[in-house]
Structure 1
Amino acid sequence: MTGVDRVEFAYLRRLVAEPEMLFGLVRSAFGYILLDRQGCEHFLNAFPDASFGPADRLSGIKRGMHDARARAESHLRRHCLDRCLPLRLGRMLRKHVPSGTCYLNTGHSNLTDRVLSAVKSVQDARVAVFVHDTIPLDYPQYQRPGNDDQFRMFLQRAGRSADLLICNSDQTEADVLRHLAPLSPQTAVAHLGVDMPDAGSPPEGPWTGQPFFVCLGTIEPRKNHELLLDIWPEIEDAHLLICGSRGWNNDAVFARLDQKPSRVHELNGLTDGQIVGLMQQSVAALFPSLAEGYGLPPAEAAALGVPVICNDLPIYREILGNIPVYASADDLYLWTAKIKVLKQEQTLAKIRLRKGAAVPTWEAHFKTVLRLV
């Protein structure tokens, strides 16, 4: 899952465990699906293994729908409280949802005028929107064409209509208020929690039994894999494992990876458990990102006790303090030197007892959020 996916999953998991009434609103290919608590539990239990069952006949009407989506939407329809065409969304919500309900949007998607109008038609309803970052506006060069305009509309809509904007950091809150000025919406900061899955058996390869470093994240321009490819010929007797799927607009890096550079390995499709297993065996985790909204992977590595080298970004300083080794992405010499030092220390120590660093928890996050919504 992506970072945003992990946040949405954490919210679903926590809210299902809360005693209050719970509903889930899903936009499907054929309108909207409304889940009650039981329906949300069914989805939560089915999601990790994608055990959604077969696609129904309705999904077969929509040409080109991915099989996984067809099965997921069919599963949701089988366990729904109600469903409707888009024009009847307000009527469906008023029929089932009690007054005083708070609508939580946690994923930067589906916050449309239609949804907001329908939610607001429920008596005394409130709206809380989670804003993960403002990267599309601050770094449009790293976005798909048009993403900045789409995000700008989302943020303006949230700023005008939401009763609360939840931000994952002080940095994000400052960025949100800067972009929304002169609007001054109510905001709250709640750092994201870090909870690690159990370690699985890591994949084996030429790196097995040898010193190796891990870089975790989608292979896209702002993750700056190019820096690591530039310096790796100088890192002798160590492997680089790039764990993540290929993104977009990064043809130069893809071409270099296709050439199979020495001691550089591209791994995708790994499970969370496999990644944890690799992290635990690695010398260090490397994050030369040029921009980040939060940076869950470095926090996860720190929680495992894995040394972290990362670009000197304000968000990393806020979340991780002095835990990582910081090196400016402009300084290739410093990155090379820091990696060599860690490799040498690992080689000399042979076996190092690692103790995880104290990082933010989901319990603290929800203690802040749930008292406000």
Structure 2
Amino acid sequence: MSVTDPPVRVLDITRLLRRAGRVATGIDRVEAAYLDHLLQDDVPLYGLARTSLGYALLDRQGMEGFRARVAGEIPWGPPDMLSQASRRLGLDQKQAQADLRRLSVKRCLPQRLGRMLMRQLPAGVAYFNVGHSNLTDRVLHALKRLLKARVAVMIHDTIPLDFPQYQRLGSVDPFERMLERVRRNADLILCNSHQTQVDVERHMAPNGAVPDCAVLPLGVDIAAPKSMQMPEGFEKNRPYFVMLGTIEPRKNHALMLDIWDEMSEDVQPPQLLICGNRGWNNESVFARLDDWAGRGGPVFELQGLNDGQVARLLQRSAGLLFPSHAEGYGLPPLEALALGAPVLCADLPVCHELLGENAVYADVNDRYAWQRNITMLATCWQADKRASHSQMARFVLPSWEAHFNKVFKLAL
């Protein structure tokens, strides 16, 4: 611990708590990476989380136990009496919130948050919130006004404001209000890309002064490839492509299904593996996937895969397809390149920023460009399974070490 370090760091772990038992999203992975890294540092660490009943504060020992459960190293325990009394919580949340209470050093009702924090923490703490969760007036007031905390918030994107047509019903206005609370209270905004910084400043500036922003590319951890049982009808000696991510409108699965419908009329197309859980506002795509499920290929929907299984699929694929309408960062293309898989992605500014010349780009409105490039990559795979991967395998991933070195140079 250096003389410039804060007396205590506080990491908000509300998102990881709420996502217990579910397949991790990109934002979940970022919060988990912060939890891992801060536990390795010698600055005193606490965790804050909002539960269905109030707030819980964990010390370092409690955070280590929480991390082990999130990582699957220790199973979540049984629900306690408070969880069992709640009719709104599913089993995963009942178990996770019960364990959080067992791991906590202090708990309180919502209206007593400020009093709890003042009794347990010194003034001048550094508070990190990287999960777009728990950024309420109550929390930010208690930290800023009562603890004189230095508040660092990561904004991953402003997609809910820029592309509201792709969002869950009722999610846009709360996001806009959250962004304004961050503008008023944050000392530092952490941005995962220059594009995100531009978007954040564009939305915040009309309302007043914008906090300092720092661009910190996210690190990417690649899991060891793990074998898996492939779906019935999958042909291992036939090229296949991977789409990775929640099946929701912004990810543009409809474009790929249109292409595969057309290719299937004339030729034997490559296979398409759609890896991800079903999301929202996408009933027509779900119906088309259900129809493909009854045909035995070449389009397959795979849900609930772990990181190792995804790594194996990418490693042996003809490429990753990433036709998103909008992205704040885009972890799948980075993961694919690190595993030597070609990437065909939407012509988005953030993709150019992160991937440079290491990807093939196509306009999402040009279906024929996508089909032409898919055919080209499939042909490369058939000619020599390794040829299309050789250049991509030299891609250097952004590292968490570089990310956190920069964070801590900002006196956090």
TM range (shorter): over 0.9
Residue number in structure 2 paired with 1:131? 155
Q: 1:331 aligns with which of 338, 352, 366?
A: 366
Tell me the TM-score normalized by structure 1.
0.97
Residue number in structure 2 paired with 1:226? 254
Residue number in structure 2 paired with 1:46? 69
Q: Which amino acid aligns with 1:156?
A: E
SS, match of residue 259 in structure 1: helix
Q: 1:299 aligns with which of 334, 338, 343?
A: 334
Q: Which moved more, 1:259-268 or 1:9-18?
A: 259-268
Residue number in structure 1 paired with 2:59? 36
Q: Retained in 1: the 8 A contact 2:144–2:185?
A: no
Deviations 1:37-95 (A, max 9, x none): 11111111111226111111121111131111111111111111110111111111011
Asked if residue 19 in structure 1 is aligned to residue 42 in structure 2, the reply is: yes
Q: Which amino acid aligns with 2:229?
A: P
> How far does residue 351 in structure 1 lie from its aligned partner after superposition?
4.3
Residue number in structure 2 paired with 1:166? 190
Residue number in structure 1 paired with 2:241? 213
> Counterparts in 2 of 1:53-132, with a 5 A limit?
53-132=77-156
Asked if residue 322 in structure 1 is aligned to residue 348 in structure 2, the reply is: no
Residue number in structure 1 paired with 2:4? none
Q: Retained in 1: the 8 A contact 2:241–2:270?
A: yes
Q: Retained in 2: the 8 A contact 1:98–1:122?
A: no
Q: Which moved more, 1:245-254 or 1:119-128?
A: 119-128
Residue number in structure 2 paired with 1:344? 379
Q: Which amino acid aligns with 2:154?
A: F
Deviations 1:25-47 (A, max 9, x none): 01111110000011111111111
Tell me the TM-score normalized by structure 2.
0.88
Q: 2:401 aligns with which of 342, 363, 366?
A: 363
Deviations 1:334-372 (A, max 9, x none): 111111111111111144464241121111111111222
Structure 2: gaps spanning 5 or more residues: 1-23
Q: Retained in 2: the 8 A contact 1:304–1:356?
A: no
Q: Which amino acid aligns with 1:273?
A: G
Q: Which moved more, 1:358-367 or 1:35-44?
A: 358-367
Residue number in structure 2 paired with 1:186? 212
Q: Retained in 2: the 8 A contact 1:134–1:176?
A: yes
SS, match of residue 99 in structure 1: coil
In the alignment, the residues of structure 2 paired with residue 119 and residue 311 of structure 1 have an alpha-carbon distance, to the nearest angstrom, of 40
Q: Retained in 2: the 8 A contact 1:320–1:359?
A: no
Q: Which moved more, 1:88-97 or 1:255-264?
A: 255-264
Equivalenced residue count is 373
In the alignment, the residues of structure 2 paired with residue 123 and residue 224 of structure 1 have an alpha-carbon distance, to the nearest angstrom, of 45
Residue number in structure 1 paired with 2:12? none
Q: Retained in 1: the 8 A contact 2:50–2:56?
A: yes
Residue number in structure 2 paired with 1:252? 284
In the alignment, the residues of structure 1 paired with residue 377 and residue 357 of structure 2 have an alpha-carbon distance, to the nearest angstrom, of 16
Q: Which amino acid aligns with 1:367?
A: N
In the alignment, the residues of structure 1 paired with residue 374 and residue 25 of structure 2 have an alpha-carbon distance, to the nearest angstrom, of 26
> How far does residue 204 in structure 1 lie from its aligned partner after superposition?
1.5
In the alignment, the residues of structure 2 paired with residue 351 and residue 107 of structure 1 have an alpha-carbon distance, to the nearest angstrom, of 38
Structure 1: gaps spanning 5 or more residues: none
Q: 1:199 aligns with which of 202, 206, 225?
A: 225
Deviations 1:255-310 (A, max 9, x none): 11111164100110111111111111111010000101100011111111110000
In the alignment, the residues of structure 1 paired with residue 373 and residue 229 of structure 2 have an alpha-carbon distance, to the nearest angstrom, of 26
In the alignment, the residues of structure 1 paired with residue 386 and residue 161 of structure 2 have an alpha-carbon distance, to the nearest angstrom, of 45
> How far does residue 209 in structure 1 lie from its aligned partner after superposition?
3.0
SS, match of residue 265 in structure 1: strand
